[in-house]
Amino acid sequence: MTLREEEADKIDILFSKFEAYCKPKQNVTIERYRFNTRAQDEEETIDQYVTELRLIAKNCGYGDLEDQLVRDRIVYGTNSEEVRQRLLRIDDLSLQKAISVCRVDAESRKSSKYIAETSGEVFGLRSSNKPHRFRREVTKDTKKFTEGPRRPCGCCGPVHNRKQCPAYGKRCHKCNKLNHFSKYCRSSNRTTDAIEQCEDPTDSDDAESLFIDAIKNDTELTLSDCYTTLQVEGSAVKFKVDTGSQVNILPLR
């Protein structure tokens, strides 16, 4: 190194001499070419991309224009066409605004991907106090129903598929009614009226008999209630009528 007499005791000048000797001279044209052709990689975040652009720009000699040129490079080098269109619509776009838009877009894409991956998982619910008849199996690729366990038929006894009851159309030898065998007849010997509903293959899953007792005494009707007087242990007691039936056969009137 060649030092003049007045430079011999200046440490700053010594450092600059070392740097000039050891550091190779930068080709500004090549560095600017690297800067202007540097695009954001597919898996590269916006912060990684901006850091890389700033490191290249230090050797380009842009001076005060560095932030503006980094901003422009983000617009043209982003890996998202949607982000590019959004940035071009902002009139007073600054470097910080450009970085913020890119960050928001990255977060929204990450959230959308998570929703898309989890939305195909559907779980079926069934009530614990009702017989389980069908079990739903839903996957991302297929949707199908598999028939679960069934209870024995109340009209013929065995377990069978829907609408395939062998007792349908047969007459009971006990009560002389249709659609069940006498072995499974639910008719009562008491002197009460009954309504029996057996399996209808058009709208029923399982055969079931529904009984409704009838009140033969005189009844008292009010605007909204119904009362009747019955004998209890030799005494007349007034009751409010509530059949507790499984089905409602009372007419609207």
pLDDT averaged per 10 residues in sequence order, the chain, 253 residues: 81 85 80 93 92 92 92 93 92 92 90 76 54 49 47 81 80 81 71 46 49 59 72 89 67 75
Burial readout 99-125 (b: 16 or more C-beta within 10 A, e: otherwise): bebbeebeeeeeeeeeeeeeeeeeeee
pTM over 0.75: no
Half-sphere exposure of 186 (CA within 13 A, CB side): 18
Would you kindly state where each structural domain of the chain is located, as residue ranges? 8-117, 152-213, 215-244
> Residue 71: its pLDDT value, please?
95
Helix-then-strand count for the chain, H and E: 6, 5
So what CATH class is 8-117? Answer: mainly alpha
d(CA 41, CA 38): 9
d(CA 180, CA 154): 8
> Residue 213: its pLDDT value, please?
55
Backbone dihedral angles phi then psi of residue 226, each to the nearest 5 degrees: -130, 125
> Residue 208: its pLDDT value, please?
53
